[in-house]
Chains A and B, each alone.
Chain A
Amino acid sequence: MSTTAAALHDHHEPQLTGIKRWLLTTNHKDIGTLYLWFSFIMFLLGGGMALIIRAELFQPGLQIVDPQFFNSMTTMHALVMIFGGVMPAFVGLANWMIPMMIGAPDMALPRMNNWSFWILPFAFAMLISTLFMRGGAPAAGWTMYAPLVLQTGDAFPFMIFSIHLLGISSVMGAINIIATVLNMRAPGMSLMRMPLFVWTWLITAYLLIAVIPVLAGAVTMLLTDKFFGTSFFNPAGGGDPVLFQHIFWFFGHPEVYILILPAFGVMSQIIPTFARKPLFGYASMVYASASIAFLSFIVWAHHMFTVGMPLAGELFFMFSTMLIAIPTGVKVFNWVATMWRGAMTFETPMLFAIAFVVLFTIGGFSGLMLAITPADFQYHDSYFVVAHFHYVLVPGAIFALIAAVYFWLPKWTGHMYSEALGKWHFWLSAVSLNVTFFPMHFVGLAGMQRRVPDYALQFADFNAISSVGAFIFGTSQLLFLYLVIKCIRGGPQASARVWEGAHGLEWTVPSPAPAHTFNTVPDSEVIRRETLA
């Protein structure tokens, strides 16, 4: 923390080249780029694991992988996608966009920013190296329930320490974002003028610093239970395995809002732009985000209705969970109201945004079904749950990320991407995603269990359909990779404003955004014009 933004810009560092530029960079845009590329690599890796799962499930019976490896794939797919795909991608967007959106020259703690990124490749090198270890990669599910997870082989301590490192990285990123938003806003950029992406990230960052340490505690308890003779989760020594589930989900439920709140922020930037109307209900959006964050702390046990809770507990967690539908509904209605009678155009970011609103709502509704305690006893650990959380994460978090990349790519690269390829990418993704995940609702309700490499014959047709959809979805993402590289290399020059209806400070700087923006504070008249437009 020896270098602060203010100090950094007093003496411009000599321009580094080659690998050193990326290793030693403290520039928020460079670090944002690193985060985004890293998360895209993890997205492809985690996607590859998903395709191994879908290939095995294409037919009933065991064909391609043995069950232990199958379980490793479900576990690693989740860990890689959550901690490597979605979370770093949103941190990357935050790095790129938050300073530009609030008129700051950089993040508040640029040196720590560099550090929090460069921990990630080491953490994932550790986690992925477990694939080659004796006893295989972790296979007890990303939720790491004791006592099953304690049977993990040599991979166990590597998994624990990689989660510690990922947690440290996330917490440092979150601290940096809070410090930036609270201390570095340009004069005139009051809290209630901030773009919603900044708001949702501020709330997300508070969630991160509140729950990631709890996860760190939970995995540390696992570690000491395994190696140092403690009995947190071992009944023989007075512990209780159910305790792990409580601690884990105390982290785990806020975690799912960590994955989706920044996506809500992205939507609230994109939809007004292409509807050419100001966001409907700005203040209610802020309060809805804060309410969701608060409620996320008191609903965790809805993940464990079947462990044997008292009736009063089940009722409390059922009703508090259903309560979340209210602020989330406020958001969905606000987006729809923003589009209502807007002069809408359907460029690729807007297509992904509209798909987000529709498909995320489907995921929200299946979540409400899961919240109904008596019904949950049937749905628990079935493919219905898999369908639910993939509907909120793929067309939710992932589509928001893709939409954000299309939305800001011209600002980052100075070139327009190919709209035709973008539309191909959208339609292939949107259709194949539904082909993949929609049948999972049916097989889940009919009783197909999750995390099992084999299934009863009557599920064969729907599973074959899901697998075909998954391979189309996976392949379509390579088109996205090609499109992004093509856009970086060249393309029609993008204007500073890029989109006709775009408002916000980031659109007042040239495209591509120069390495250093807002070294001088933006004019308060500009801020007034660009916010709450």
Chain B
Amino acid sequence: MQVKNHSERTVIKLIVVVLAMFGFGYALVPLYDVICDVTGLNGKTGRISEAESAEQVADINRTIKIQFVASVNAGAPWDFYPNEYEMEVRPGGVYYTTFKAVNKTSHSLVGQAVPSLAPREAALYFNKTECFCFTQQSFTPNESRDMPVRFIVDRDLPVNIDSLVLSYTFFNITPDNQKS
């Protein structure tokens, strides 16, 4: 009888460990996002308010070249490209550009753009005040639209970085029941 009681206590403790580790697997999801935000891993760029961006003054002694890249995820039925392929910017200044997307189908679509910045050390210093990637984008049949990005490169961008590549991938997230 003593054996039984001991085992039951051990088993209960171990089951708690099992459940906790199952939860830990899920806890890795937010943990990963936090680590990516802190380190700028995966080229995740930041978002700041207009007011914050206005506090910075452009550094007139330095120019950074920014190239824009646009692509669509496999099978997403859009034409998607930057209206400007390259820009020279000064750290601390606010800049504006647009990307064009054309719905190639004759039905409504919903898309989501996902940004990525290279080199990834620069991701911490690249912030947007406005971006079409912040929200889902709805398109009427055959609609063509310019979509805005307003961004600022932080003055603290490490001096060894003189060019950046900002890329967007456009995903089709039209709900299944609306896809034809």
- Chain A residues proximal to chain B, CB less than 8 Å: 1, 4-7, 108-109, 171, 174-175, 178-179, 182-184, 209-218, 221, 232, 234-237, 240, 242-243, 246-247, 250, 308-310
Contacts and interface: CB of A to CB of B under 8 A. Distances in A.
A217 B4 contact: no
Given A109-B11, A247-B25, A210 B17 contact: yes
B150 to A, nearest CB: 21
B112 A236 contact: yes
B10 A236 contact: no
B3 A108 contact: yes
A6 B18 CA distance: 26
A172 to B, nearest CB: 10
B7 interface: yes
A235 B11 contact: no
B48 interface: no
B41 A235 contact: no
A310 B3 contact: no
B56 interface: no
Interface stretch (B26-34, B139-147, B153-161): B26-34
B21 interface: yes
A376 to B, nearest CB: 19
Contacts of A309: 41
Given A214-B25, A240-B32, A246-B32, A4 B7 contact: yes
Contacts of A247: 25, 28-29
Nearest to A105: B3
Interface string B35-70: 010010110000000000000000000000000000
A398 to B, nearest CB: 28
Contacts of B18: 171, 175, 209, 212-213
A512 B49 CA distance: 78
B100 interface: no
Given A217-B26, A218-B25, A235 B32 contact: no
- Residue in A174, A179, A210, A247 whose Cβ sees the most chain B Cβ within 10 Å: A179
Given A243-B32, A246-B32, A213 B25 contact: yes
19 contacts: A5-B3, A6-B1, A108-B7, A108-B10, A179-B10, A179-B11, A182-B10, A209-B14, A209-B17, A212-B18, A214-B21, A214-B22, A214-B28, A217-B26, A221-B26, A234-B171, A235-B169, A247-B25, A310-B41
Contacts, number: 102
A178 B3 contact: no
Contacts of B1: 6
Nearest to A182: B10
A175 B11 contact: yes
Contacts of B36: 240
B114 to A, nearest CB: 5
A250 B173 CA distance: 30
A232 B33 CA distance: 11
A236 B6 contact: no
Contact of B4 (A6, A216, A308, A310): A6
Chain B, interface residues (CB within 8 Å), range: 35 or more
B85 interface: no
A213 B19 contact: yes
Nearest to A10: B1
A243 B28 contact: yes
Contacts of A236: 73, 112, 114, 171-173
A240 B22 contact: no
B21 A213 contact: yes
A211 B21 contact: yes
B6 A183 contact: yes
A497 to B, nearest CB: 29
Contacts of A209: 14, 17-18, 21
A232 B29 CA distance: 8
A213 B4 CA distance: 26
A235 B25 CA distance: 19
A1 B6 CA distance: 13
B123 to A, nearest CB: 11
- Residue in B25, B41, B73, B171 whose Cβ sees the most chain A Cβ within 10 Å: B25
A300 B3 CA distance: 38
Contacts of A216: 22, 25
B132 to A, nearest CB: 14
Given A1-B11, A209-B21, A214-B21, 17 more contacts: A7-B4, A175-B11, A178-B14, A179-B14, A182-B6, A183-B7, A184-B3, A213-B18, A213-B24, A216-B25, A217-B23, A217-B25, A236-B171, A237-B173, A243-B32, A250-B25, A310-B120
A477 B2 CA distance: 45
A210 B32 CA distance: 19
Nearest to A217: B25
B120 A210 contact: no
Contacts of B32: 240, 243, 246
- Residue in A5, A6, A234, A236 whose Cβ sees the most chain B Cβ within 10 Å: A236
Given A178-B10, A216-B22, A236-B173, A4 B29 contact: no
Interface in B157-179: 169, 171-173
Nearest to B113: A236
Contacts of B21: 209-214
Given A209-B18, A213-B19, A308-B42, A4 B25 contact: no
A212 B114 CA distance: 32
Nearest to B112: A236
A208 to B, nearest CB: 9
A232 B1 CA distance: 47
Contact of B22 (A108, A184, A217, A310): A217
